Structure formats: C-alpha cells, structure tokens
Amino acid sequence: MDAVAELLIRKAERGDLPAIIGLFADDEIGGHGDTTDAEAFEDYVAAFEKIEASSLQTLFVAVLGDEIVGTFQTALHTTLSGRGSSSLIVEAVQTRGDMRGRGIGERMMRHAIAEARERGASKVRLTSNGVRTDAHRFYERIGFTRSHVGFLMPLK
C-alpha cells in the first residue's frame, strides 16, 4: 500500500505550530521572513488564535504517521458580485521539501475543493508566487486555470 494512502488531513491544533512554522521557515522561495526563532513564536501563536477564532478560516495539516508533512489554510469569502457568490480561498500551501512529488499536495487541494463544495462556494481561488513554476504546473494539472493578475502592496 502507498504510504500516502495513510495521509490524514485534519484541522491544525496549537501543538502543531512548531512543525507548521518549520515548513514555512524551510521554504527558500517564499520570502515571507518565517523563522523558527523562539522570539517569533508568539507572533505565530497570535495568528493561530485569530484563525482559530474565525468561523470563515481553517488551518489544516497533512499528517503521515506522526509527522506533519504539509499544511494549507482556507478562508471563505463572499462578495456581492456574482450575485453574492462565495469563493474558498486557499493560502499558505506547503508540502515538506523531502515529501514533494508524492501526492500530498494533490490530496490537500482535493480536501480544500471538497470543503468549498460543502460550504456552498462557487469557486476555489488561490495565488502562487510568480517564481513557483513547478507549483503552477501542479495547479494546472489538477484543474486550476490562470485567470487573474494579482497585485501586492506590502504595508510593513
């Protein structure tokens, strides 16, 4: 049996934070300034608590055996355009570097798509760093299409 068949995707718990932070800190492409330094931990705890308190956001982890091998976050967004349609936004998708190419990312995205359907969303949206060409090919392979141009204005 394929080990990924044993993959569990579940809602993240506070005790998962060190592993989740480690996934982001190991990401050389992201450039988000994530770090495993103890001084930064409370920033992550504060963010986790905001996510946890929201009925519109969920942070997930992908667990294989007793190890967290991936994470992603979803947020339900409703707008007046499209006759009040809702989108499920997927952010912070990360698979542990040594586990890429094993189907973990696809399972996480299939989970997000199922959540979107359950919550009545009319579409799933995500953005990806422009230099992540492997990720772009992955998203297109599983059914996403390039449709919009994104803009970003850092405020800090």
Domains in the chain, start-ordered, CATH in brackets? 3-141 (3.40.630.30)
Per-residue pLDDT tens over the stretch 67-88: 999 999 999 999 999 999 999 9
Higher pLDDT, 151 or 111: 111
Per-residue pLDDT tens over the stretch 99-150: 999 999 999 999 999 999 999 999 999 998 888 888 999 999 999 999 988 8
> How confident is the model at residue 3, as a pLDDT?
59
Share of the chain above pLDDT 90, in %: 77
CA atoms within 13 A on the CB side of 114: 7
The pTM of this model reads: 0.92
> How confident is the model at residue 1, as a pLDDT?
43
